[in-house]
Amino acid sequence: MRPHVLHQVIRAVDVADKAMGYTSELWNPEPVNGYVFFKETSMKKSTVFEETYNKYLSLISDIDLLPRAARLGAELAGDALIIPYYEKPFRISIDGIFDEAGKRANFAISVVLFQYVFSCPPEIPIAGDWVTCREFKDAGPLAGYFISNNNKIIETTFVGNPEALQYACKRLGGQLLDDDPSWDLSVAFDMLPRIPIRLRFNDKDDEFPAQCSILFRQSAESYIDMESLAMGGTYLSGMLTKT
């Protein structure tokens, strides 16, 4: 399956699951908050996802991972790379992608990590400014999707309760910042070693509604495709709003 076709499937199923806070294996989805996404096609999803996972494994086997470690900010462990995804380390090798406990990463996380390895630039780029998703040249219609499934979910979930958002951010490993007085809350996350994120939030007041902004360094587009970047943002919003 070609990567852009794969990501159409991901956006329709996996990222929507993550937006609602799924933590189960994506080829065996369960309802969360009263929603079930594409449950009637779960068997077909399982087959497509497994075939795609195996295709990605074959591509990994053709790559010399070790020279990419420094450029990706990864650690070496024998013939494998250790790459943290939101502070959780995953082992990437020709055998697959596994967490610390030896459990295979779910499909959405695996795709993000695969694409991070595949997209490794030939040299470490300049970080650049902080930008929103819509400012990346290849964002296209994903920009609107990103805002609807991330920014607005955080706004509607935490309006009137910024303390709960602060608690959720700290629980996920976010670092509270005091870098911009125009925002009530500013938090740093590391989606991946070379892809930091800034989440900023203002609660509603008498004049303005609640507002959330999720920022990336411009260099993020050198490390990963836009679909996977959107998936990483949706993972963040899903985990923050998970009850």
pTM for this structure? Answer: 0.82
Please tell me the predicted confidence (pLDDT) of residue 17.
Answer: 43
Q: How far is CA 73 from CA 32, 101, 177, 183, 194, in A?
A: 34, 22, 23, 30, 6
DSSP codes, 33-86: TTB--SGGGHHHHHHHHHHHHHHHHHHHTTS--GGGHHHHTPEEETTEEEEEET
Q: Are strands 185-192 and 195-202 parallel, antiparallel or unpaired?
A: antiparallel
What's the pLDDT tens digit per position in 152-197? 999 999 999 999 999 999 999 999 999 889 999 999 999 999 999 9
Q: How confident is the model at residue 42 (pLDDT cuts 50, 70, 90)?
A: low
User: Could you tell me if 164 and 154 are in contact, meaning their C-beta atoms sit under 8 angstroms apart?
Assistant: no
Instruction: Provide the 10 A C-beta neighbour count for residue 71.
Output: 17
Domain ranges within the chain, ordered by starting residue: 3-118, 130-222
What's the pLDDT tens digit per position in 208-239? 999 999 999 999 999 999 999 999 999 999 99
Q: Which 8-state DSSP code applies to residue 149?
A: I
